[in-house]
Amino acid sequence: MMPRWKGKGLQAKANADPMSKIVSQLQSSLIQFETRGLLSSCSVLVEVDAELADLLNRSCFGRPRITAQEDKQWFQLDMEEAFYLCFSLKCLKVIGEDGSIKSNEELWDYFKSKKLVFPVSYKVYSHLRHKNWVVRSGLQYGVDFVAYRHHPALVHSEYAVLALSEGDNDLNGRLRVWSDVHCTVRLCGSVAKTLLTVIVNSNNQGANSPSCLEHYTVEERTITRWNPERSREDQTSPKNGTKKGVTRF
Amino acid sequence: MKPRWKGKGSQAKANADPMSKIVSQLQSSLIQSETRGLLSSCSVLVEVDAELADLLNRSCFGRPRITAQEDKQWFQLDMEEAFYLCFSLKCLKVIGENGYIKSNEELWDYLKSKKPVFPVSYKVYSHLRHKNWVVRSGLQYGVDFVAYCHHPALVHSEYAVLVLSEGDNDLNGRLRVWSDVHCTVRLCGSVAKTLLTVIVNSNNQGANSPSCLEHYTVEEQTITRWNPERSREDQTGPKNGTKKV
């Protein structure tokens, strides 16, 4: 599915300014300023200057929080975003309620205690981010994440992502029954997104520490409606790795 | 939520011809003609003449199947529809593959073997049908049933129904996580329906036979979006039994 750019010249703009480069600039900047995040329930709050605020906005990490301060801005990072900056990009440190910096293992344990499926959810988030997709919360679309090819201002998101697990971790809450498949596919269609399930297999590695993550395997599958009229005779066969959902109405 | 009638005169037409009366006529007609249904996988097929076909259409049971026959029509009934006609309205008998009429207990066991949640699903179907709602499959709307207060030709369906269970039967596949709640509420909103969850409690009665059904209790809850702008200050409080998201 080709990305749908939101206007003329935006594709060129995106090509001139790749997301990988923006994220890299964010990483350098956070390291340079020795930025510290504050743990706040299920989020991490960071205080940033104008330059970092701009980089966070352009790389799509976190959401600005409105405060009375004029020279400093506060951003609120989701769990996966915060852990990505800490663990994968190694450019952020997080301070706990006790005032001391949390190690990656401590942060991992903390997030797992807040969200049981965090290991699977994080694997999916980091898997897509590593490929330079912009990954945001998909809750308003009834999914886990939405994935954009570049900044949401430039392009419409293509994929509505559900994080599913396979193996010793059957915590899946979605797509257990056909009505949910229909519901999700229909809603995705109405907002012009393709449903992408990213299935994580922990390969019996458990989830005791973030070092387990590298042994998890990931399988991507899109689920789309199969239209008999459009699939007759001399059409090409389905793409490799794409599982098509069949409608029966 | 008030029913949305499809055009002028539909409401009057519906009031003049209540669903309860149409269903009653269907019941009498089926009994009189000693109609027999044929079990076919997850459906029951019935062969009917023009009069019964008309009653089935007007009462919204089953879907016509296209055949080459001219004088007879075939209808395909869903599991819940068939069992309602057999067990609740006692106006249909179903013949199994071996050619014998299935008792209600045999039919119950068979349908349960095809669909483990059938007892709960049937309880919800019959609960709504008894109240004279028209209940149809909701699969294309991503739910279990859609409920109309009269014939779909006259009125838009108001409720998208999800069947949930509580108690010793935790077979729920939906609304286990927030993303599913958002997904379902949003989709229902886009097709102008209110999400209605009907929660069945088996009260530890099990599901060995259809006689267990009368001891099941049912709770209805609508789930709608809560809009802060529309819920300020001097608005009336939420309706009883309505859970707002």
CATH number of the CATH domain containing B185 = 3.40.1350.10
- Whether pLDDT at B112 is above 70: yes
Confidence grade of residue B236 (pLDDT, cut at 50, 70, 90): low
**Catalytic residue status for B127:** no
Long-range contacts of A133-138 (CB under 8 A, 24+ apart): A133/A19, A134/A19, A134/A59, A134/A60, A135/A60, A135/A80, A135/A161, A136/A60, A137/A78, A138/B179
Q: Is residue B5 part of a domain?
A: no
What are the distances in angstroms from CA A221 to CA A195, A199, A201, B52, B66? 8, 8, 14, 47, 36
- A242 located within any domain: no
**Are B140 and A186 in contact (CB < 8 Å)?**
yes
- Is A212 within the bounds of a domain? yes
Give the CATH number, domain containing residue A60. Answer: 3.40.1170.20
- Annotate B74-106 with DSSP letters as a single string: EEEE-HHHHHIIIIIS---EEE-TTSSBPPHHH
Predicted pLDDT of residue A248: 31
Tokens of B128: 């709504």
A10-31 per-position pLDDT tens digit:
888 888 999 999 999 999 999 9
Classify A73 as helix, strand or coil: strand
Q: Are residues A138 and A104 in the same domain?
A: no
Q: Are residues A94 and A145 in the same domain?
A: no
Nearest-neighbour CA in chain A from B126: distance (Å): 20
- Whether residue A169 is predicted with pLDDT greater than 80 in this model: the reply is no
Rounded Cα distance between A60 and A23, Å, is 9
What is the rounded distance in angstroms from the CA atom of residue A124 to the CA atom of residue A82?
A: 14
Q: Residue A218: which of A167, A143, A173 has the closest Cα?
A: A167
> Distance between CA B34 and CA B92 in Å, rounded?
7
Stretch B111-128: mean pLDDT, rounded? 96
Based on its alpha-carbon atoms, the radius of gyration of chain B, rounded to whole angstroms, reads: 19
A245 falls within a domain = no
Closest CA to A143 of A126, A123, A163, A128: A163
Confidence grade of residue A239 (pLDDT, cut at 50, 70, 90)? very low
Q: Which has more pLDDT, B166 or B25?
A: B25
What is the arithmetic mean of pLDDT over B103-129? Answer: 97
Share the mean pLDDT of chain A: 90
Task: Identify the weakest region by mean pLDDT among A76-85, A87-96, A159-168.
Answer: A159-168
- Domain-located, residue B232: no
More confident residue, B170 or B124: B124
> What gap in Å lies between CA A225 and CA A245, rounded to an integer?
5
Task: Say if residue A76 is in the same domain as residue A94.
Answer: yes
Kindly state whether A176 is in contact with chain B, defined as any CB-CB distance less than 8 angstroms. yes
Same domain, A32 and A133: no
Task: Specify the higher pLDDT residue, B52 or B172.
Answer: B52
Please give the structure tokens belonging to residue A130: 């590593």
What is the enclosing helix (H) or strand (E) of A50? helix A50-59
* B151 catalytic per annotation: no
Considering only CB atoms, which chain B residues are within 8 Å of A138?
Answer: 179
How is residue B159 annotated by DSSP?
Answer: E
Domain final residue pick, A81, A115, A149: A115
- Same domain for A73 and A170, yes or no, is no
Question: Beta strands of chain A (E only): which ranges?
Answer: 36-40, 43-48, 63-65, 73-78, 93-95, 101-102, 134-137, 145-148, 159-166, 194-201, 217-223, 225-226, 245-246
pLDDT at B32 over 80: yes
Q: Which residues contact B236 (CB under 8 A, 6 or more apart)?
A: none
Percentage of chain A lying above the pLDDT 70 cut? 92
- Residue A170: which pLDDT band, with cuts at 50, 70 and 90? low
In this structure, the answer to whether residues A98 and A157 fall within a common structural domain is no
Q: Please count the structural domains in chain A.
A: 2
Task: Please give the average per-residue pLDDT across B151-155, as a whole number.
Answer: 91
Residue B238: the pLDDT is 53
What is the pLDDT, as a whole number, of residue A168? Answer: 54
- Confidence bin at B120 (pLDDT 50/70/90): very high
Contact A223, A1 (CB under 8 A): no
The ipTM (two decimal places) reads 0.88
Q: Is the pLDDT of residue B241 over 60?
A: no
Binary contact (A143, B177; C-beta < 8 A): no
User: Are residues A108 and A163 located together in one domain of the fold?
Assistant: no
Q: What is the mean pLDDT of residues B50-74?
A: 91
Amino acid identity at A75: F
Output the average pLDDT for chain B: 91
Q: Would you place residue B106 in the very low, low, confident or very high pLDDT band (cuts 50, 70, 90)?
A: very high
Helices (H), chain B: 10-16, 19-32, 50-59, 79-83, 104-114, 118-130, 178-190
**Is B234 inside a domain boundary?**
no
**φ, ψ (nearest 5 deg) of residue B97:** -65, -25
- Selected residue of A42, A176, A180 to mutate for chain B interface (largest B Cβ count, 10 A): A180
Q: Which amino acid is at B53?
A: A
pLDDT band at B97 (very low <50, low <70, confident <90, very high): confident
Mark whether B122 is an active-site residue.
no
Task: Give the domain extent around A27.
Answer: 16-115
Q: What is the separation, in whole angstroms, between the first and last Cα of chain B? A: 17
Q: Does residue B43 lie in a domain region?
A: yes
- How far apart, in whole angstroms, are the C-alpha atoms of residue B79 and residue B122? 8
Kindly state whether residue A10 falls inside one of the protein's structural domains: no
Buried residues in B28-58 as b, exposed as e (16+ CB within 10 A): ebbeeeebebebeeebbbbbbeeebbbbbbb
Question: How many residue pairs from chains A and B have C-beta atoms closer than 8 A?
Answer: 74
A162 and A217, same domain (yes or no): yes
Average pLDDT over residues A149-158: 89
The fraction of chain A above a pLDDT of 90, given in percent, is 72
CA distance A122 to A165: 12
Residue B161 pLDDT level (bands cut at 50, 70, 90): very high
